[in-house]
Amino acid sequence: MTFLPELSREALLCERLPGGRARCLACAHRCLVPEGADGLCGVRFNRKGRLLAPWGYVSGAAPDPIEKKPFFHVLPGARTLSFGMFGCNFRCGFCQNWEISGVKTAAHLAPQETSPGELAAAAAESGAKLLVSTYNEPLITAEWSAAVFAEGKKKGLRAGFVSNGYATPETAALLRPVMDIWKVDLKGFNRENYAKVCGASLDKVLEGIALIKAAGFWLEVVTLLIPGFNDSDAETGAMAAFIAGLSRDIPWHLTAFHPDHLMTDRGPTPAATLYRAREIALAKGLRYVYCGNVPGAAGQDTVCPACGRTAVKREGFSVKENLLGAEGTCSCGGKIPGVWS
């Protein structure tokens, strides 16, 4: 089922092949799409040998605090203009945005037509400091995001993705001139679970995370800890060790699961599970490990590893106190990595 063919444009992230086929380069699935067929995401499709990609609409747009994305090492307290489209290249049974990420479930929803310039102007007029592509998987609509971000750059706005990390070198190269930050969901460390529950390859996610880091984006990682799915000490430790192996300074957000979509057979994640996982991650060498999705959760503040002082104090999505200098400098002189200005 192809969604919104009238709101599409020829894809840049594509290789045209003999016989009317097209190879999509937007995500690590690298779908080989025959003429008349769709990619796995359902929103990139081949018509007469041309791969078309979404363009000219949003499924929704709203102001958000940057902490809600969540980014904790990017402009604390700043507002974003968050926007999304439709479709996804994963099929996660615990998806919390399933109404817009599934092409069939989104078919009854009305897109809001707009242009890159209009979105960037709306962000600037609202006082936002960033444009963030989120809600659905932004990799599959990367050409649209890149155009929006390019308009935002003209207005001094930073830009970012909230993504599953199924990145390709081609997409990273398209985005790097106009995009600054990238949040990746690492959904576990079990290959079978990734394939069965998400319809994806863990190895390709790990390659994507390494690619994003190497390309120079500011990277933060989030894991939704799901009881009985990915919350064992062994799996938590394996995820932490992988992230720390890339850099001990990558922030890792551990967030609580709430039953949703197709995964309603278990209860919410206890706060104690988050705290245990955080201790494991710190023991693996990560310097910045945060807990979220639990009211009043501990582990929300940014603490300087050099002196132990609280540099940024948070409560939920609010910044209560920010003692960092303009370039992320603590009062002790230690530097905390991030995007601070």
Cα angle: 147, vertex 150, 152; to 5 degrees: 115
Q: Which CATH number fits domain 57-294: 3.40.50.300, 3.30.420.40, 3.20.20.70, 3.40.50.720?
A: 3.20.20.70
- Each residue's pLDDT expressed in tens, for the chain with a length of 341 residues: 455 778 999 999 999 999 999 999 999 999 999 999 999 999 999 999 999 999 999 999 999 999 999 999 999 999 999 999 999 999 988 877 767 777 555 556 789 999 999 999 999 999 999 999 999 999 999 999 999 999 999 999 999 999 999 999 999 999 999 999 999 999 999 999 999 989 999 999 999 999 999 999 999 999 999 999 999 999 999 999 999 999 999 999 999 998 877 778 888 999 999 999 999 999 999 999 999 988 777 899 999 999 999 999 999 899 999 999 989 999 999 999 999 98
Confidence at residue 321, expressed as pLDDT on a 0 to 100 scale: 95
Q: At what angle do helices 233-246 and 202-215 cross, to 10 degrees?
A: 30
Q: Is the peptide bond prior to 70 cis by the omega test (within 30 degrees of 0)? A: yes
Instruction: Describe the crossing of helices 271-283 and 233-246 by its angle, rounded to 10 degrees.
Output: 50
Predicted confidence at residue 110, as pLDDT, reads 82
Domain boundaries, the chain: 5-54, 57-294, 301-335
CB neighbours (10 Å) of residue 283? 10
Rounded CA separation 251/119 (Å): 29
In eight-state DSSP terms, residue 166 is -
| pLDDT at res. 339 | 97
Q: Which pLDDT score, from 0 to 100, does residue 329 have?
A: 96
Q: Please tell me the predicted confidence (pLDDT) of residue 108.
A: 67
pTM of the model: 0.95
Q: Determine the pLDDT at residue 3.
A: 59
The answer to whether 35 and 23 are in contact (CB under 8 A) is no
pLDDT of residue 4: 72
Q: Which residues pair with 222 in a beta bridge?
A: 185, 253
CA–CA separation, 202 and 149 (whole Å): 29
